[in-house]
A = this chain, B = another copy of it.
């Protein structure tokens, strides 16, 4: 009987692992420069493609981010805390603290892209909103000058026609205030949360490096009598967000 020998991982994995340990142990900190391709070639005696492959592992893990002409650097994670139902927030009952510190709460955001258009609803949107024609408000949010979220709000066309919701400036209180004035104020919300890798288009619009997933939040707003009045699809940089949901048993 011979005990099964665990096969040695390939060289590029071992190089990646040693760099990963340096990052997780804190030897390399946020924003520090990793050894470059040339340095790894010299240190480990490997070809350039192999050194490159090792760095690619960390980049695809989201631990490192490459900068053309400069080097590969340790990625930082300073999330924005996005609250779901705020009125149920933990501060009202618990003394526990968040696991992940986020001093970034309350930082100012900007809307640096905004389009409002009447469109034909996709099959899914049509099914949820129960209509074929919709008004769509698309915008991109940035924090500290960096884009962090794409959002597209859909409204039934006949519901919001000739209201400020169809214009860039919705007025004080935003779209929910306008919906309330129309007698269709939201009373209930459902949010569906998913995560995946971004499409190239999404990655470009959000300025995401490789190895950076996106969080998708699809929020439906319902009136008290059960009508769906808004469908908001959000695409968030996963490295920039922590979503918080509070609820009772």
- Interface residues, chain A, with chain B CB atoms under 8 Å away: 13, 17, 20, 49, 60-62, 79, 84-85, 88-90, 93-100, 124, 127-130, 185-200, 210-211, 213-215, 218, 220, 222, 224, 226, 228, 231, 238-239, 241-249
B residues in contact with A100, CB < 8 Å? 192, 194, 218
Which of B190, B228, B231 sits near A245, CB closer than 8 Å? Answer: B190
10 contacts between A and B (CB under 8 A): A89-B249, A93-B187, A97-B127, A97-B128, A99-B231, A187-B249, A193-B243, A194-B238, A197-B211, A245-B245
| A93-B226, A195-B213, A218-B99 known; A85-B190 Cβ under 8 A | no
Complex CA gap A80/B219 in Å reads: 18
A98, B231: Cα distance in complex, Å: 11
| A191–B226 CB distance below 8 A | no
> Could you tell me if B188 and A94 are in contact, using CB atoms closer than 8 angstroms?
yes
Chain A at the B interface: SS class: mixed
CA distance A99 to B90 in the complex (A): 22
A-B pairs, 5 with minimum CB distance: A195-B195, A213-B213, A85-B247, A195-B238, A193-B243
Nearest opposing residue in chain B for A82, CB measure: B193
- In the bound complex, CA of A60 to CA of B228 (Å): 36
Complex CA distance for A162 and B200, rounded to whole angstroms: 54
* Complex: A88 Cα to B189 Cα, angstroms: 10
